[in-house]
Amino acid sequence: MTMTETTRTTGQNEWAKPPGRTKIAPRALDRVVSAVTADALGVESHKVSVNLDDDDGCLSLTVSTPIRVPSLLQIEDEPGVVDQQGGPLLGRAKTAQEQIRTRVQDLTGSQVARVIIKITGVTIHENRRVR
């Protein structure tokens, strides 16, 4: 992936391109998307699989990942725990899509056209209480 950014020239109302270009290797971009996805869904980044595609000059991201959920025992003991952890799975996935799009754009400077999340499983979060 190649990025060029225009900068404003001093004293004039014109835009000029700086000499050279900055390249982000696909592997580096893959790592950024994995880390952002893992953070958004509460899983480890090595469990996230990323597929990058071009969509008319913008990025199209497909991520396959488990999602972190509370245990059924915890849900029984604490009825509000699902809402505390972001709500139902589909709502969390929708929120994560926007978080991933925004953070990847902010971190890489690339335009993200689409984020597709494939939930491949769950990681059960055991929240043990100290007695």
Give the 3-state secondary structure of the chain.
Answer: CEECCCEECCCCCCEECCCCCEECCHHHHHHHHHHHHHHHHCCCHHHCEEEEEEECCEEEEEEEEEEEEECHHHHHHCCCHHHHCCCCHHHHHHHHHHHHHHHHHHHHCCCEEEEEEEEEEEEEECCCCCC
- Residue 16, in any domain of the structure: no
- Residue 58, in any domain of the structure: yes
Q: What is the CATH number of the domain that holds 99?
A: 3.30.70
The CA angle 55-61-64, to the nearest 5 degrees, is: 150
Q: What pLDDT score does 39 carry?
A: 95
80, 57 in Cβ contact below 8 A? no
Who wins on pLDDT, 78 or 40?
40
Mean pLDDT of 79-90: 84
- Residue 88, in any domain of the structure: yes
Q: Is pLDDT of 129 > 70?
A: no
CA distance linking residue 76 with residue 81, whole number of Å: 9
- Residue 19, in any domain of the structure: no
Q: How many domains does the chain have?
A: 1
CA distance linking residue 92 with residue 119, whole number of Å: 11
- Residue 10, in any domain of the structure: no
- Residue 108, in any domain of the structure: yes
* Residue numbers of the domain that contains 101: 24-125
Residue 61: strand pairing partners: 52, 115
Range with the poorest average pLDDT among 23-27, 58-62, 110-114, 115-119: 23-27
Q: Is pLDDT of 5 > 70?
A: no
Residue 130's pLDDT band, with cuts at 50, 70 and 90, is low
Q: What pLDDT score does 124 carry?
A: 84
- Residue 14, in any domain of the structure: no
Q: What pLDDT score does 8 carry?
A: 52
Q: What are the pLDDT digits (tens) for 88-103?
A: 889 999 999 999 999 9
